[in-house]
Copies of this chain bind each other. A is one copy, B any other.
């Protein structure tokens, strides 16, 4: 038995199992690209850059390295892709409704949905619409932007935290973790997907939000402005307070850690800022609206999140 076969048996993963990446923006191209590079059978649903990638392939820049992946299996419809074992969803959460038409051609009873989206409750939405089946959430700690046609650049990090929706991490989570690891991606299986999602909000709510609301600025500009830095910290405190009301405990030291980590990102543009510059809808409900409304339902008053959400929603309506 070769090492390869052993891995197959131990992890129950067949590298020939079809994977679909639905929504091949920066995130989908990066993680899907690394899986393809590792030999997995990845099919990308693309709109933007479809012809470019079909003809010239994909370039991934990461850690002083530059991979050129060619050819890639890229498609303009999920009908062309057909049933898959794994469906990685990296469409913007604001476009979830499109999944109602996009996903069915990919699904078999065994298909596992992997949600690589921002914000909370996307896994619930997938489960409610396409369950009962295994829905995995992946929380991405990565600074990644599209830097050209068919090109994505990772400016830092890349770790993926994995958890299963509404259940302890089962066999599929471990299989998917193995796949990511074999593609060179750092992973961790978290005990509570929801808690991990709230923890991610601690960063996303202020940085994605203020980048847009404060004039189209990057994270370095946010931290260079003392009142914006203060607003960032106070927004983080609010999210931690809300998370606590949901039963998730995030230490207040986590705030300092987020600020420190973000200082090292340099002039990184959060994904919402990129969306805003490209005049795409913001992930307004997933990142700001649902957390606010969940906190409200628990009687928790979050004055800064409320104001930020109101401003962003107004800006979003005018994109």
Most chain B beta-carbon contacts within 10 A, residue among A221, A225, A314, A315? A314
Give, as a whole number of angstroms, the nearest-CB distance from A112 to chain B. Answer: 36
**Are the CB atoms of B304 and A214 closer together than 8 Å?**
no
**How far, in angstroms, from A124 to B164 measured CA to CA in the complex?**
61
Contact A217-B314, Cβ < 8 Å, known A227-B309, A309-B227? yes
**Are the CB atoms of A228 and B308 closer together than 8 Å?**
no
**Are the CB atoms of B311 and A214 closer together than 8 Å?**
yes
Which residues of chain A in 255-303 are interfacial with respect to chain B, using CB atoms and an 8 Å cutoff?
A: 303
Which residues of chain A in 217-239 are interfacial with respect to chain B, using CB atoms and an 8 Å cutoff?
A: 217, 221, 225, 227-228, 230-231, 234-235, 238
Give, as a whole number of angstroms, the nearest-CB distance from A188 to chain B. Answer: 33
* A308: nearest chain-B partner, CB-CB: B307
Task: Name the prevailing secondary structure of the A interface residues.
Answer: helix
Give, as a whole number of angstroms, the nearest-CB distance from A5 to chain B. Answer: 57
**How far, in angstroms, from A304 to B235 measured CA to CA in the complex?**
10
Does chain B have a CB within 8 A of A306? yes
Beta-carbon contacts of A190-214 to B below 8 Å, as 1s and 0s?
0000000000000000000010011
* A234: nearest chain-B partner, CB-CB: B303
Give, as a whole number of angstroms, the nearest-CB distance from A281 to chain B. Answer: 14
Contacts of A213 on B, CB cut-off 8 Å?
213, 311
Most chain B beta-carbon contacts within 10 A, residue among A303, A306, A307? A307
**Are the CB atoms of B215 and A310 closer together than 8 Å?**
no
* A214: nearest chain-B partner, CB-CB: B314
**How far, in angstroms, from A303 to B234 measured CA to CA in the complex?**
8
Contacts of A309 on B, CB cut-off 8 Å?
227
Give, as a whole number of angstroms, the nearest-CB distance from A223 to chain B. Answer: 12
For chain A, give the interface size range.
20 to 34
**Are the CB atoms of B313 and A231 closer together than 8 Å?**
no
Give, as a whole number of angstroms, the nearest-CB distance from A207 to chain B. Answer: 13
**How far, in angstroms, from A210 to B307 measured CA to CA in the complex?**
9
Does chain B have a CB within 8 A of A318? yes
Which of B227, B230, B303 has a CB less than 8 Å from the CB of A304? B303
**How far, in angstroms, from A315 to B225 measured CA to CA in the complex?**
11
Give, as a whole number of angstroms, the nearest-CB distance from A267 to chain B. Answer: 15
Give, as a whole number of angstroms, the nearest-CB distance from A291 to chain B. Answer: 14
Instruction: Please give 13 more A-B residue pairs, beta carbons under 8 A apart, in addition to A217-B314, A228-B311.
Output: A210-B310, A215-B311, A217-B318, A225-B313, A227-B306, A227-B309, A227-B313, A228-B314, A230-B310, A231-B306, A231-B311, A234-B306, A235-B307
- Give 20 pairs: A residue, B residue, CB < 8 Å, sorted on A: A210-B311, A214-B310, A214-B314, A214-B315, A215-B314, A215-B315, A215-B318, A217-B314, A217-B318, A225-B317, A227-B310, A227-B313, A231-B307, A235-B307, A238-B303, A303-B304, A304-B304, A304-B306, A307-B307, A307-B308
A→B interface (CB under 8 Å): 210, 213-217, 221, 225, 227-228, 230-231, 234-235, 238, 303-304, 306-311, 313-315, 317-318
